[in-house]
Structure 1
Amino acid sequence: MAIQAEICTALAVFSPTVLEVINESAQHAGHAGDDGSGESHWRIMIASAQFDDMSRIARHRAIHAALGPDIIGRIHALAIDIK
């Protein structure tokens, strides 16, 4: 399964009303962290009622926990936009 699909599956736990997983790896080709896989840099845009009472840090921690060490370990950069 491609990382994009794995990210979407992992984040379904939040029942998001908005979920976009954008591969930004091409913008970073040749830069530090580019492993040549084409799946090293990602942006997540997500909205979920589950984030309403969380601080910004708690939201990011929850997303990282949902993704787990396997997914996090295979990417170099993750930008998170919470709506």
Structure 2
Amino acid sequence: MTSEVIKVKLKEAFNPDIIEIIDQSASHAGHSGNRKGGGHFYVTIVAESFEGLSLVKRHQLIYQVLNELMKEEIHALSINALTPSENSTGN
């Protein structure tokens, strides 16, 4: 469920060419740093709106969009944020 909410929020914010959310929560269940619960997610997003932005700025924008989910639903988030040209060249 949370992965679908993440996808919807990111689609609305960035209109990406590609978006993939991988829920890795099962492999992290019960570890000591995850007392509140929340899932572990890996996001790949390719969007024109990242053009000209540093990797740090791209991540900041994604965290802003997902801010409310970061409080409880998301415990860990790995991000691969690319522009279309970076994705087509394999960078």
Seq. identity, %: 33
Aligned amino acid, residue 24 of structure 2: E
Q: CA RMSD in A?
A: 1.5
How far the C-alpha of 1:76 sits from its partner, in A, is 0.9
Aligned length: 79
Aligned amino acid, residue 57 of structure 1: V
Aligned runs of 1:14-33 on 2, under 5 Å?
14-31=14-31, 32-33=33-34
TM-score of the superposed pair, with normalisation by structure 2: 0.77
How far the C-alpha of 1:35 sits from its partner, in A, is 5.0
- Mark the structure with the bigger radius of gyration: 2
Structure 2 unpaired stretches of 5+: 83-91
Moved over 6 A (4+): none
The answer to whether the Cα contact below 8 Å between 1:25 and 1:34 also exists between their aligned partners in 2 is: no
User: SS of 2:52's equivalent?
Assistant: coil
Q: Distance in 2 between matches of 1:19 and 1:42?
A: 13
How far the C-alpha of 1:30 sits from its partner, in A, is 2.4
The answer to whether the Cα contact below 8 Å between 1:24 and 1:41 also exists between their aligned partners in 2 is: yes
CA deviation map 1:46-69 (0-9, x unaligned) = 10010011001100000011112x
TM-score of the superposed pair, with normalisation by structure 1: 0.84
